[in-house]
Amino acid sequence: MELFVATGNAHKLLELGPALPGHILKTPADAGLANFDVVEDGSTYLENAVKKARTLYSILNRPSLADDSGLSVYAMGGAPGVFSARYGSPDGGATKLDAHERNAFLLKEMEAEQDRECAFVCCIVLVLSKDRIFVAQETCPGELLREPRGAGGFGYDPIVFIPALGKSMAELSVTEKNLLSHRGRACARMAAILSDLEKKQ
């Protein structure tokens, strides 16, 4: 199936492509929408992903896919959550901290907290028509470390420990991460949905 992914970042297709084999992924730019952008003002990952996918579908009238993801720390009420990418920014997100700065900020905020339970969350939404929407949301549970570990991954990966493997997310191999990560799991669910849809067309 040809799917347009609601993102301005071509690298997103490099992440999603291997997890959705057999499908042709395209960016809005491939359809002539060079400056596609959606304000992510939802209070949940689902709201943001639905808004992005629906917005793109309303413009192209073609199958549209979007995702939203982040880190939820339970002792902080689920924060940074949907604000993960701009967490800690002094001006509300207009100027984003880099990953190292965000991680340091979060660890400082959690310095005195003993409950370190957290989870990466990824929500993927597929819109096939105005009222035909499919959703896959998955998590990768973990524990917030006291200091970064590992040189791999990106974002919050170095400060999240995965008890099942005894490693931080940044210490996992690419294969381990694809099998275990929130995005890998959500993509596997969406791949199964797409496979089922194609069988029944």
Positions annotated as catalytic residues are 68
End-to-end CA distance of the chain: 11
Distance CA 152, CA 169 (A): 8
Report the SS3 class of residue 139.
Answer: strand
Give 105's DSSP letter: H
124, 67 contact by CB (below 8 A): yes
Report the SS3 class of residue 126.
Answer: strand
Cis peptide before 80 (omega within 30 of 0): yes
